[in-house]
Structure 1
Amino acid sequence: MGSGIIAVERNEAGIAAAVDALAARFGDRFSRAMAVRLQHGHTTSRIPNQPPDGVVFATSTAEVAETVRICAAHRVPVIPFGTGTSLEGHVNAPGGGISIDLSRMDRIVAVNPEDLDCTVEAGVTRKRLNEHLRDTGLFFPVDPGADASIGGMTSTRASGTNAVRYGTMKDLVLALTVVTASGEIVHTGSRAKKSSAGYDLTRLFVGAEGTLGVVTEITLKLFGIPEEIAAGVCTFPTVRAACETVIATIQSAIPVARIELLDTLQVHAVNNYSKLGLVEAPTLFLEFHGTPEGVAEQARRFGAIAADFGGTGFTFATRPEERTRLWQARHDVYWSCNALRPGWVGMATDVCVPISRLADLVDETIADVERHGLVAPIVGHVGDGNFHLQPMIDPDDPAMDAAVDGVVERLALRAIEMGGTCTGEHGVGQGKTQYLDREHGGAMALMRAIKAALDPDGIMNPGKIFAMPKPVAAEEPGP
């Protein structure tokens, strides 16, 4: 299907005027230094870095709104930036423009323990939020691995290892403060757990990847920290056996909090990188939450199912340090894959399918990888049908580069054909725009209509998710 990178035309005069205005307004909180600009372009995939023309370090919603109004007046692109951990080119500036760095907007505005919710600014990271919440007995469960910002996680509709039990960002965001393309500040939703009042604008902005507005505050659902937490490991003779175990576990309504698949190569990688000493075979990492009795029962039932599919060596531990070590190794898989081939480039990609098709998709993907002789570990949040492939590419081998592109494209199309999606949690960004028409069909026209209505000048993170028709210039009035 070819590259999905969307070209965006530069507005040189507008950019120059906006840069001058922002430099005058923000002083040393506006940077044109190339090192800072490159840091705010994309750095975690093969997509080339496309830096913005300047970076504003905002400290309030009002400053974000002022920045957007200046950019809107000159029709200059605005690119929101959280921590830069996204994987599909979301923070690149293909047409230049201004990056709004939200990392200094890091206030935890309110925590309401009685209502199990909190409100935070967009720059708060998930680890800092959970550290702040610990003394309340509450936690926020969405855990994509990287210490991402809550604003970024909202904009990419993030998921993670806990999604099988607690849901994703679309399930846990109650309300938002958003700066629109005109620089207006709007509030969507409320702290009520449900509403039937009007359009669900909150869900519209969750997952919009900054293409409809800049998210500056988020109200989130929280959960009580479980009385008992146990982490488990179980090995299997084949990846299919591990997948079939996952399917049976979910269908048996065992409320696992996490259930992660690592293929043999990925286990080898984490053993080398994180010094775990696991048996190098297809493996499931699990976590059970509940009372001590409930956790023991969940583990017993899972163990029985795993044994039916040839699972062996199932053990679980409740000591926090053991659990932390296991899950840190899981979160470090991106770096462990890169360590397999120093000097090569990793291309992390993800898909998601109905859980009944999980084993088929993983099997077909492994066969495709092996046909092309690629190094491509598999890891995934398989409890909800989501898994990641990370092919490693020798930058000096163009044939390998082309082979990886083919495998990644076939993986995305295969997932869509199985009733799934080309991305379960990484988002579209620049990297997966070519699959959206196949996945959504006629609904793409509605998406474009929403984008045109909310961002008529196309300044909000252009070049991401889908291409927009070039606006038709108004005709000059006749004599």
Structure 2
Amino acid sequence: MRASLLASRRFSARALRPRTPQFWACGGRWNSSSAETENKHNSSDSESSAGASSPFWTPGKALLFSAFAAGLGYSYASLQIPAKQTKPQYGSAQDFEKVVSELRTKLGEDSISTDEDELHRHGFSEWSSVNADRLPVAIAYPTTTEEVSEIAKVCHKYKMPMIPYSGGSSLEANFSAPYGGMTIDFAMMNQILDMHEADMDVVVQPSIQWMDLNEKIKDTGLFFPVDPGPSAMIGGMVGTNCSGTNAVRYGTMKDWVINLTVVLADGQIIKTRRRPRKTSAGYNLTGMFVGSEGTLGIVTEATLKLTNIPEETRVGVVAFPTIRDAASTAMQLIRKGIPVQCMELMDDVQMDVINRAGGTGRQWKVSPTLFFKFSGTKAGVADSVDLTTKLAKTNKAQSFEFARDEKEAHDLWSARKQALWAMLALCKEGSDVWSTDVAVPLSRLPDIIEISKKELFDLGIFTSILGHIGDGNFHASIMYDRQKPEERAKVEKLVHDMVDRALEMEGSCTGEHGVGLGKKSSLKKELGPGTIDVMRSVKRSLDPHWLLNPGKIFDAED
């Protein structure tokens, strides 16, 4: 079964239990009244029995014993609590061979692949701005949570890194293998496990695509609203806390995950919480794993909230003379509380890409453009369209067009969703596309987009700006020649300057792509060493040997 599925596909932690603290303690219970009585008694005795032998527990002896006990306690604690971890120590090549052999025995020969093409596909991404120098040692293809647990137990035994992999469409080398190790591909875990229509939630495995999920449940009148790139799968979406075009109305991945089944570094299986939408029971472990990029545990199941498919949906396209006019319209619309489902920005270059790629059945104005999707009741949609039209006109809107029918609306929105792939299709031989994103407070959007657009234009190469402008998140795509080191250096500087500018505006180095390998230094600037150290402490408590997706988000040492 595994072999046939692998041939057809192209893309696709139990932690060490915290030790109970053990303390040196005297067995008695302190009682203030008894102590006072005893002190008075001793005082009376000493006064009436001068010259009698002194009691054994003199103040000096008590102090000496306290110091001795404290020293023993400190020594014991030093043995139990390791010093600050530095560079992780992994198993040898021979150890990794033992992992492969043991897992093939436990799970079957075709459960583990060491094929060179498979290793390259799982360790390198042409979409990512950076890639690791190494490839994984082997690829595991589990079919159940229990098999993932077995994989983790064996890898933990021989200190072999583990890298979760679902869709492979990440942009910051999130699934790369800088220390080698075992990539765990969930290609065979792509099913809906349980549908609770009355409760409006669904339990899924990590390699189901969000588009496939919505197609399978559409007859229920419900849908899952988080919508990143078309090829994205639930596991990767959880790992990066992604969003998509619907974020302005529905929020991001963290808002739609009820609970997770997670395999910890040593193979222990946990569930982060139960199924009600509301709970105050303990720490929010679900939220901790969402966005952790597989560095804390391996997600094998997710319970997701669903919502109702809107009664009415309309797609509108508004062209503006400048990108600042478009960004200002977006900011003002959100500030006024006009309800929209989606609000996307595409600059003039990206509109030209849509026209050249075809597929929408018409030619669009090559100007900075906002894409709107209005949804809700018919009356509500009509009201939102009217208010948006009036607001756009005050910001010099050149045109306001609506898709003429459902097919055109679908084709138009598909063109927006396929923007990155459309640019990749236009790449010349030897060229790459560097795609990055930042997020800023809404009031700073017009400023950063205008400055970034000018700097991109000054590069003198093919660049574009697009993104989920309704929540302050935008993307830059830059096509450059990887054979020209000086050109890459310019691109790299521009991207770093854009990130630094976002941080100066109290923004973030990444709105939805995650940190991965590519933005670790930017994360330090954004959060500071204290916050990073807190994250490290959480990582060490769950994964003390640094086996889970090592090298991502932050390193074991600065």
TM superposition score normalised by structure 1: 0.94
Aligned: 1:213 with 2:290: no
Structure 2 Cα separation of the partners of residues 160 and 395 of structure 1: 29
The within-5 A match list for 1:320-331 is 320-331=406-417
Work out which of the residue numbers 380, 384, 391 in structure 2 matches 1:305.
391
Residue by residue, what CA displacement relative to the aligned partner does 1:371-404 show, whole Å, maximum 9, x if unpaired?
3323210101000000000111112221110000
Does the 8 Å contact 1:125/1:148 carry over to 2?
Answer: yes
Moved more, 319-328 or 282-291: 319-328
Deviates more, 1:8-17 or 1:193-202: 8-17
2:338 matches 1:265: no
> How many angstroms apart in 2 are the aligned matches of 1:274 and 1:260?
19
Q: Which amino acid aligns with 1:18?
A: V
Between the aligned partners of 2:443 and 2:434, the Cα distance in structure 1 is 26
Once the two structures are overlaid, the 10-residue window that deviates more, 273-282 or 439-448, is: 273-282
TM-superposed deviation, 1:9: 7.0
- Which region of structure 1 is more displaced relative to structure 2, 99-108 or 380-389? 99-108
Instruction: Find the aligned partners of 1:96 and 1:409 in 2 and give their Cα distance.
Output: 28
Q: Residue 316 of structure 2: SS of its match in structure 1?
A: strand
Alpha-carbon distance in 2 for matches of 1:327, 1:29: 39
Structure 2: which amino acid aligns with 1:47?
V
1:383 aligns to what?
470
- 1:288-367 maps to which residues of 2 (within 5 A)? 288-317=374-403, 319-343=405-429, 344-367=431-454
Letter of the 2:375 counterpart: H
1:223 equivalent to 2:304? Answer: no
Q: 1-side partners of 2:241 and 2:449: how far apart?
A: 23
Unaligned runs of 5+ in 2: 1-86
Distance 1:375 1:30 in 2: 42
Q: How far apart are residue 114 of structure 1 and its match? A: 1.7
CA deviation vs aligned residue, 1:90-142 (integer Å, no higher than 9, x gap) = 11111111011112112211111222111111121111110111000000010
Aligned to 1:76: 160
Of 106, 128, 144 in structure 1, the residue corresponding to residue 212 of structure 2 is 128
User: Shift in Å at residue 335 of structure 1?
Assistant: 2.1
Number of positions where the alignment pairs a residue of Structure 1 with one of Structure 2: 465
Matched, 1:416 2:500: no
* Counterpart position of 1:32: 114
Equivalent positions of 1:418-457 (< 5 A) are 418-441=505-528, 442-457=530-545
Displacement of 1:8 in angstroms is: 7.8
**Structure 2 counterpart of 1:474:** none
Q: 1:432 Cα deviation (Å)?
A: 0.6
Deviation track 1:17-42 (CA, whole Å, cap 9, x = no partner) reads: 21222233331121110111111113
Tell me how far apart the structure 2 counterparts of residues 292 and 318 of structure 1 sit (CA, whole Å). Answer: 16
Write the deviation string for residues 172-225 of structure 1: whole angstroms up to 9, x where unpaired: 101000000110000012221121111000000000000001000001111100
1:275 Cα deviation after fit: 4.5
1:14 maps to a residue whose letter is: D
- Aligned mates of 1:80, 1:100 — CA distance in 2: 5
Aligned to 2:367: 281
Structure 1 Cα separation of the partners of residues 507 and 157 of structure 2: 41
Tell me the amino acid that sits aligned with residue 88 of structure 1: E
Aligned counterpart, 2:14: none
> Are positions 1:399 and 2:399 aligned together?
no
Q: Corresponding residue for 2:73?
A: none
Mapped to 1, the partners of 2:170 and 2:427 lie a distance apart of 22
Moved more, 182-191 or 311-320: 311-320
Question: Structure 1 pair 189/71, CA: closer, same or farther in 2 (3 Å)?
Answer: same
1:372 to 437, 443, 459: 459
Say if 2:190 is the partner of 1:109: no
C-alpha contact (below 8 Å) 2:129/2:518 kept by paired residues:
no
Alignment of 1:180 onto 2:273? no
Paired residues of 2:211 and 2:230 also in contact (CA < 8 A) = no
**Alpha-carbon distance change, 118 to 313 in structure 1, aligned in 2, over 3 angstroms:** same
Instruction: Verify the 8 A CA contact 2:457 2:463 in the aligned structure 1.
Output: no
**In structure 2, the residue corresponding to 1:390 is in which secondary structure?**
strand
| 8 Å Cα contact 2:162/2:184 also seen in 1 | yes
Counterpart of 1:347 in 2: which secondary structure? strand
8 Å CA contact 1:8, 1:95 repeated in 2: no
| C-alpha displacement of 1:312 | 2.4
C-alpha separation in 1, matches of 2:345 and 2:258: 31
Indicate which of 71, 94, 100 corresponds to 1:19: 100
Distance 1:10-1:369 versus aligned 2 partners, 3 A rule: farther
What is the CA-CA distance between 1:147 and the residue it aligns to?
Answer: 2.2
Does the Cα contact within 8 Å between 1:45 and 1:88 map onto a contact in 2? yes
How far apart are the structure 1 equivalents of 2:352 and 2:459?
20
Structure 2 counterpart SS, 1:103: coil
Q: Cα distance, 1:447 vs. partner?
A: 0.4
Task: Answer whether contact 1:229 1:318 (CA < 8 A) is retained.
Answer: no
Distance 1:317 1:275, change over 3 A: closer
Structure 2 residue matching 1:114: 3-state secondary structure? coil
What is the aligned-residue RMSD (CA, Å)? 1.6
Which residue in 2 is equivalent to 1:47?
A: 130
Q: Does 1:158 align with 2:242?
A: yes
Any conservation in 1 of the 2:163–2:181 contact (CA below 8 Å)? yes
Which residue identity does 2:555 align to in structure 1? A
> 2:245 touches 2:468 (CA, 8 Å); kept in 1?
yes
Cα 1:403/1:8, change in 2 over 3 Å: farther
- State the shift of 1:328 in Å: 1.0
Which residue identity lines up with residue 107 of structure 1 in the other structure?
Q
**Matching residue of 2:60:** none
2:243·2:512 contact (CA, 8 Å) conserved in 1? yes
Q: For 1:188 and 1:269, how far apart are their aligned partners in 2?
A: 44
Give the gaps of 5 or more residues in structure 1.
1-6, 471-479
Displacement of 1:318: 6.7
